Amino acid sequence: MQKKLMAVAVASAVAAPGVVLAQTSTVQIGGGITAFYYQHTPHNPSTSKRGDIMESSEPEFFIRGEEQLGGGLSAWFQCTSSMDGIISGASAIASSGICARNSGIGFKGGFGNIFWGNWDVGHKLMMNRIRGWNGGTNAFTGGSGTLLLGGAASGTVNPSTVGTFSATSATGNVATTTTSDSPASFFRRQANTWHYHSPSFSGFQVQGDISADNESTALAEANPLRPRMWSLGVHYDNGPLYLGGAYEKHKDYNASNQSIGATGYTGGSDHSWILGAGYTFAGVFKLTGMYVQNKYEVNAATDLKVKGFAFFMDWAIAGPHSLKGQYIQVNDVKGSSSRSIGAYRGPTASSCLDAAAGSTGTCLGDTGAKQFGLWYAYAFSKRTELFAGFNRVDNDNLAVFSLGKATPTAGATQTNIGMGIRHRF
């Protein structure tokens, strides 16, 4: 991201007998905005109309400061806030807060960077290097985070009420438990978290995170739940070659069998693994790919498994002209779960419709999806780019993945065609 240095060095002297200690601090102000205008076609007129949509994608404004403490040690802070109101108006401003995007405070030096705050975790940062120009979950250039990692969780904490599900008791009562903390998501900007980013050793770097246990104060001492997150990303980025891997674990995020008349499963952990690679050919054609595997421990006896992969292309054709592309595929959901988690439909979930029989049945296959997009981009400068193209998701017969604008029905296809602009300052 291009940044403009707005406030510069401020020198101060601390006097002691015979000693003068000079300290230097800098402050930067910068940010960026990506805006879209596109035609959304859900291909399902019974639930949603076709229409044109204008929106922004994570426009942000940051203030970043650093003070040199001597001996190669620095203290720093960053506050990144939303600028969604530029496109969406007052309602978008009300729903986002100051410093709600990557923000933190810490120390850095020869040992690396250690800090705490609200920041993208190592697992997500590894995926970001693979997807490159493409978005993670937005409707027009994203999708890999939606299909492969359970959607986005930005500025969230450890869930203390977990799961989104419905369960029927012996008396016919229905209980629904929900949470706003996106327990299914492995694409997280996690609040209240410690972070460590190592230096780069000839292209090798480690980025790790662990969440604090703030949510325990809302639970009784006898409650066995203790939600926490661990995340790790490992990178090798040297010349035209990139190799990476990531792992993330959520403890007590998805104990989703806490239903009426049932004993809650309190030992559940969810896991996600990513392997990625990329290569830039002749300095102009970059091809990257990743393989993702998630496992949700729904209860002590059943689980839900999600596997998929994605490929991304960034081709600098000539001068300001470039071509971007993506192909994403999530395979049929596996495991023994009778519940669905987000858009992942459990293989034995009774909510599925047996298309052949025309009645309620099970999701024994046809629960995957494919997504592909292609965009032409014209760079006016290093900071400003205009682009146009399309993004499309094709659901299998029983799958319910969405581009995020219309409620999907099983087997539906959704397509977005339009244009966008990116500007960084």
DSSP assignment of 243-276 equals EEEEEEEEESS--TT--TTS------EEEEEEEE
Question: Is residue 131's pLDDT more than 70?
Answer: yes
Q: What are phi and psi of 280, to 5 degrees?
A: -105, 115
At residue 351, the pLDDT reads: 61
**Predicted local distance difference test score (pLDDT) of residue 298:** 81
Q: How far is CA 24 from CA 17, 77, 113, in A?
A: 21, 15, 19
288 is a domain residue: yes
Average pLDDT score over residue span 57-72: 95
The percent of residues above 70 in pLDDT, for the chain, comes to 81
Averaged pLDDT, 183-203: 96
Written as six digits, the tokens of 153 are 């969780």
Structural domain boundaries, residue 408? 32-58+121-192+220-424
Considering its fold, how many domains does the chain have in total?
Answer: 1
Say whether pLDDT at 6 is over 90: no
Instruction: Say if residues 32 and 422 touch (Cβ distance below 8 Å).
Output: yes
pLDDT at 93 over 80: no
How far, in Å, CA of 345 to CA of 256, rounded?
14
Q: What string of DSSP letters covers 32-81?
A: EEEEEEEEEE-S-TTT---EEEEEES--EEEEEEEEEEETTEEEEEEEEE
Is the pLDDT reported for residue 79 higher than 50? yes
CA 314 vs CA 391, 406, 416: distances in Å: 16, 29, 20
pLDDT given for residue 361 in this prediction: 58
Residue 22 lies in a domain: no
Highest mean pLDDT among 32-46, 61-75, 85-99, 293-307: 61-75
Mean pLDDT of all residues in 36-42: 96
- Quick one: average pLDDT of 189-216? 96
C-alpha distances out from residue 21 to 11, 26, 34, 71, 392, Å: 10, 17, 44, 12, 59
Task: Return the minimum-mean-pLDDT range out of 15-29, 155-169, 233-247, 251-265.
Answer: 251-265
In a domain, 27, yes or no: no
Q: What are phi and psi of 118, to 5 degrees?
A: -115, 105
Q: Percentage of the chain with pLDDT > 90?
A: 61
Q: Round the average pLDDT of the chain to a whole number and report it.
A: 85
Determine the pLDDT at residue 182.
Answer: 83
Residue 398 included in any domain: yes
Contact (Cβ atoms closer than 8 angstroms) between residue 354 and residue 362: yes
Q: Is residue 107 part of a domain?
A: no
pLDDT tens profile 386-413: 999 999 999 999 999 999 888 888 898 9
* Predicted local distance difference test score (pLDDT) of residue 346: 80
The answer to whether residues 140 and 112 touch, using CB atoms and an 8 Å cutoff, is no
What are 261-319's pLDDT values in tens digits?
334 566 689 999 999 999 999 999 999 999 999 999 887 788 899 999 999 999 999 99
41 class by beta-carbon count within 10 Å (0-12 exposed, 13-18 middle, 19+ buried): buried
Residue 63 lies in a domain: no
Establish if 116 belongs to a structural domain: no
Q: Higher-confidence residue: 338 or 175?
A: 338
Q: How far apart are CA 64 and CA 1, in angstroms?
A: 14
* Nearest-10 Cα torsion for 231, 233, 234, 237: -170
Q: CATH number of the domain at 228, please.
A: 2.40.160
Q: Are 89 and 71 in contact (CB under 8 A)?
A: no
Q: Identify the pLDDT of residue 16.
A: 42
* 42 part of a folded domain: yes
Average pLDDT over residues 158-163: 63
Terminal alpha carbon distance of the chain: 8
Q: What is the 3-state secondary structure (H, E, C) of 208-233?
A: EEEECCHHHHHCCCCCCCCCEEEEEE
Q: For residues 169 and 135, is the Cβ–Cβ distance under 8 A?
A: no
CA–CA separation, 286 and 390 (whole Å): 20
Task: Evaluate whether 177 touches 161 at the Cβ level (below 8 Å).
Answer: yes
The predicted pLDDT at position 242 comes to 98
Identify any residues that bridge with 156 across adjacent strands, giving them in sequence order: 190
Task: State the Cα angle at 302 between 267 and 211, rounded to 5°.
Answer: 35
* Residue 198 confidence (pLDDT): 98
CA 100 – CA 120 distance, rounded (Å): 11
pLDDT tens readout for residues 343-392: 898 887 666 654 444 445 567 788 999 999 999 999 999 999 999 999 99
Place of tokens 């190799």: 243
Amino acid 196 reads Y
SS3 content of the chain, % helix, strand, coil (to 5): 5, 55, 40
Whole-number Å distance between alpha carbons of 52 and 39: 4
Please report the pLDDT score of residue 23 as a whole number: 63
- Alpha-carbon dihedral angle through residues 366, 304, 400, 169, given to the nearest 10 degrees: 110
pLDDT for 12 beyond 90: no
pLDDT in the model for residue 174: 37
Segment 222-265, tens digit of pLDDT: 877 788 999 999 999 999 999 999 999 999 886 454 332 334 56
Q: Residue 381 has which token pair?
A: 């400068």
